[in-house]
Amino acid sequence: MYKVKVFVTLRESVLDPQGSVVKNALHSMTYQEVQDVRIGKYMELTIEKTAKDIDSTVREMCEKLLANTVIEDFRYEVEEVVAQ
């Protein structure tokens, strides 16, 4: 079994209005030291072991569904979990 962590973030060049709002909120809460906030998605997938290569499977899932590659970047970490 695999535990996969997927991080989807907006590309550098894309505006992040949600991040700006959070930054302004933090500023008004006395955290003036915050310079930038970018908000993305974090997904944890539990995937059964199959004959298919886990790495290319996850890449495919990201490209087809989990991330919009026009405006988002993704990266992932695969961890094998041994059932006890």
Contact residues toward a copy of itself (CB under 8 A) are: 1, 7-9, 19, 22, 25-26, 29, 31, 33-50, 52, 57, 61, 64-66
Is the CB of 25 or the CB of 71 nearer to a copy of itself?
Answer: 25
**Least Å distance between CB 42 and a copy of itself?**
4
Is the CB of 44 or the CB of 79 nearer to a copy of itself?
Answer: 44
Question: Rounded to an integer, what distance in angstroms lies between the CA atom of residue 82 and that of residue 78?
Answer: 13
Residue with tokens 């310079």: 35
Measure the N-to-C terminal CA separation of the chain; round to a whole number of Å.
Answer: 11
Q: Which amino acid is at 65?
A: L
